[in-house]
Structure 1
Amino acid sequence: MFKVTEDMTIMEVLQKDRESAAVFMKYGLHCLGCPGATMESIGDAGKVHGIDPSKLVEDLNKFFESKA
């Protein structure tokens, strides 16, 4: 099963399943096509946007678990 970690980029996760965009959107990460999505880690994006990256990763992993 695919496992999301804080050191992955947003784009890595989106390439695995585009529907995961809804989880990012829930956290206010709407710029999924911007250069930051391909270069920043989820952990860094969390810091920049003032969100808890561990919660985001937890929700992303729940998303992927539900698809298994």
Structure 2
Amino acid sequence: MFKVTEDMTIMHVLQQDREVAPIFMKYGLHCLGCPGATMESIADAGKVHGIDVSKLVEDLNKHFASK
């Protein structure tokens, strides 16, 4: 099973399964194709957008666990 961590980039996670896009969007991370998605970590994106990164990672991992 794929396990998401805060130090991964958004794009790395999306490359594993594009169906996670709505999860990122739910947390306000809408620019999934922008350069930031390929360069900054989920933790960095969370700081910029003021979101609960641990909850986002938890939701992403729930998705991958259900596969």
Fold match (TM-score > 0.5): yes
Q: Displacement of 1:17 after TM fit?
A: 0.2
Percent of matched pairs sharing the same residue: 87
C-alpha RMSD of the superposition? 0.4
Which stretches in structure 1 are left out of the alignment for 5+ residues? none
Which stretches in structure 2 are left out of the alignment for 5+ residues? none
**Number of residues paired by the alignment?**
67
TM-score (norm 1): 0.96
- Looking at structure 2, the residues matched to 33 and 4 of structure 1 have their Cα atoms a distance apart, in angstroms, of 19
Partner of 2:29: 29
Partner of 1:47: 47
Structure 1 moving runs of 4+ over 6 Å: none
